[in-house]
Structure 1
Amino acid sequence: MKTDALFYYLFQEFPSIFFELIGQSASLADDYQFTSIELKQVAFRLDGLFLPPPDKPNLPIYFVEVQFQLDETFYYRLFAEIFLYLYQYKVVNNWQAIVVYPRRSIESAQPVPYQFLLSSDRVRRVYLEELGANQSLGVGIVQLVVESNKKAPAKAVNLISQVRQQITDERLQQQTLEFIETIVIYKFPHLSRQEVEAMLGLDLIKNTRVYQEAQEEGKLEGKLEGKLEGKLEGKLETIPRLLKMGLTLKQVAEALDLDIEVVRQAAPKQP
């Protein structure tokens, strides 16, 4: 899954996170529909729009672009798409373009014809690398997408803990955990499902699609109940790899549901 597609899926499933990301109330998501629209007669497609209902013309339209590669033609294309949309749909709402960058260095130079727009409040750029650490749960999930592989496992474990504490709705909690798992799988395609499950804590994701697929395909080591020795052996084999990826002894113990002394004993000895 491409990174931008991951973001659009995130905004589709959790629209409140978008409004948290731009510093607005998460409740605004109730007034918007997230969609993508293909513009007629030209090869343009607006992949991300937050559209308010027709009876609320006072609310702005948000054009959302996730840009993770340097592209010198990006702003030319962005404004061409926006103004073609405004023309074709005879929009009466105000509008704002939100561009999400992983870091400032990815942004291309500002074309002279559009500098007046880029310096106005019509365009807002979000640099994920520059967001503070003490952000909301939703923003934390967004940051996980661009977190380094060294720090991502520990951040994912912390986010899972936040989800369990902050989200009481069972369906929404499970959906959020599943999305965190999807991000981790995307970031670590070389890991087996068993290792991802161990990293995140098996009990946390036992109802997710990935976990259920693993059961159906017979890829879990033994049954969930019984064969405890086999499960323990699998956990012990996973410990060195999780520690190498940056998790602390405590985080590994919590993720694998093991005593910290067991983890310490299984950890590779320092030369």
Structure 2
Amino acid sequence: MAELSDNVPTTTDETPLLSVKHLRKAYGDHEVLKDISFDVPRGKVFVLLGPSGSGKSTLIRCLNGLETIQGGTIEFKGKPVSGTEKEWRKLRTEIGMVFQSYDLFPNLTVAQNILLGPTKVQKRAKSEVEPQMDRLLADVQLSEYRNAYPRELSGGQKQRIAIVRALTMNPELMLFDEVTASLDPEMVREVLELMLRLAKEHMTMIVVTHEMEFARRVADTVLFLENGVILERQSGEDFFTHPATDRARSFLESMSPITDDEAK
């Protein structure tokens, strides 16, 4: 099967693709993110875990300029991001993001939705982008829906189209914010399998999810957040087998399936 991503790392550059230093985010007097720092190397998958309200989605939105920050710095490919909307518009062609709400334009076909960004924003020729789009649609087994409208698709199909749309921009970093949260259980698997394939192809990814088994399989690094701080930072394997804090242990226990004894 063909590779989904055209951005498999080809460099030994040790500069982190993304570097976050002492980031702060507040809404008025309420500080949502407090002194957040981490580096994301190329080709690695970071998973953000934590209870609701811990700041995960706010953090990932800050990394795409959808939320302004009140302190700290964000560096992309070794260069500080000034934070202007003009700069973020350019960076969003290199930092793809997929939300739980799909955000497909209902009045456009699948093909029109996918082609819009590369042709209008990146100014690439339609003749260049269409073969890439068709290959990606074939990879996710949705070629037959090329001329369909979003209303004709299931939730899982819409989410896979949203991912294809982002990949067609040739991003160097992909952000996923609870992309399966609004899907029926039967549709979750097909989206997670697509994300696993991207991880195996060494796409640099930051993922917010409540799917613990998926997180365990995909994470190179887990950042566990609570109350706006990184409470724990471990490799995926170590976090799930030997969490370092009582809070992380209780979180994992709360996310595990209910046993027969607990149900009695």
Provide TM-score, normalisation by structure 2: 0.29
The structure whose residues are more often strand, as a share, is 2
Greater length-normalized contact order (CA 8 Å, ≥ 6 residues apart): 2
- Of structures 1 and 2, the larger Rg is shown by 1
